[in-house]
Amino acid sequence: EVYTFTNVGTEPLTWKLAPFASPYVTLPDNPHSLFRVDYEVFQLSPLKGVLQPYETEKVHIMFCPQCEGSYNQAWCLYDTADSQGSFHRFTIYAKVKYLL
């Protein structure tokens, strides 16, 4: 999968991605369960860069589950040059029905 964003400003954007929270999984045999995952379920690349005005970045997302279930993780896209710490938060969702 790919997460795409564009610098709609008139100045270069220095950005970085970081997890907002740990990933979580709901297991298929217990849909009311919610467990924190202690490994990297979603691997994103690249994690930082500079976008010129009106330039678009594509961040590749690799899903690496170790068991069946429904996974989610919140991430933040930070403007590293903004002293007020502005960011955009998004959540990645993925589901595994059968793990080989």
Mode of pairing for the β-strands spanning 24-26 and 87-96: unpaired
CATH code for the domain in which residue 68 is found: 2.60.40.10
Q: CB count, 10 Å around CB of 22?
A: 12
Q: Which residue has the tokens 């970045």?
A: 57
- How many domains is the chain built from? 1
CB–CB of 94/26 below 8 Å? no
Which domain covers residue 69, as residue numbers?
Answer: 2-96
- For 70, what's the count of Cα atoms within 13 Å in the CB-facing half-sphere? 10
Q: How much is the pTM?
A: 0.87
Summarize pLDDT for 42-55 with one digit per residue, the tens. Answer: 999 999 999 999 99
Summarize pLDDT for 47-82 with one digit per residue, the tens. Answer: 999 999 999 999 999 999 999 999 999 999 999 988
